Homo-oligomer: A and B are copies of this chain.
Amino acid sequence: MTDYLRKEVKNKLINGDYSCAKEFTLSMFSGKWKIVILYHLGIDGIYRFGELKRLLPQASNKMLTKQLREMEADGIISRTIYPEIPVRVDYSITDLGQSLIPIIVAMYEWGEERLKSMKQDVKFSINEEAIK
């Protein structure tokens, strides 16, 4: 829903509907590859376009570019072009982007916990099967 969400939130903001603060935050990193890119840039540091591509082999050029451009427009990452030949482009997180990292870390931890307890449940049901 990402593009849709971005458009919706923009419309709401234009129409003065400021009751959508959480949707606004969500629209920052809810996009294909966005949360992963942001996490890497926040934790690891600077990446070049090609490095991100290798990091996300499933992402097409088109999608990767789109996500990066949107995050740049939102001010959470920055893009630096070095007009060498061949061209070189660096991506890094901004201070604003960095301020989102705690939330993403919280999401990471929640996910880890949840996955752990889901594995537990699987073990339990296997044991129950064994008892029968």
Binding site for B on A (CB under 8 A): 1-5, 13, 18, 20-26, 29-32, 35-36, 39, 96, 99-100, 102-104, 106-112, 114-115
Shortest Cβ distance from A102 into B: residue: B106
Shortest Cβ distance from A38 into B: residue: B22
Q: Which of B1, B24, B30, B32 contacts A111 (CB 8 A)?
A: B24
Report the copy number of this chain in the oligomer: 2
Q: A111 touching B2 by the CB < 8 A rule?
A: no
* A20 → B minimal CB distance (Å): 8
* A6 → B minimal CB distance (Å): 11
Q: B102 touching A21 by the CB < 8 A rule?
A: no
Shortest Cβ distance from A2 into B: residue: B1
Q: A24 touching B103 by the CB < 8 A rule?
A: no
Q: B30 touching A115 by the CB < 8 A rule?
A: no
A29 to B109, CA, bound (A): 15
Chain B residues with CB below 8 A from A20, complex form? 111
* A29 → B minimal CB distance (Å): 8
Chain B residues with CB below 8 A from A96, complex form? 114
Q: B22 touching A108 by the CB < 8 A rule?
A: yes
Chain B residues with CB below 8 A from A114, complex form? 21, 24-25, 96
Q: With contacts A30-B1, A35-B22 known, is A107 near B103, CB below 8 A? A: yes
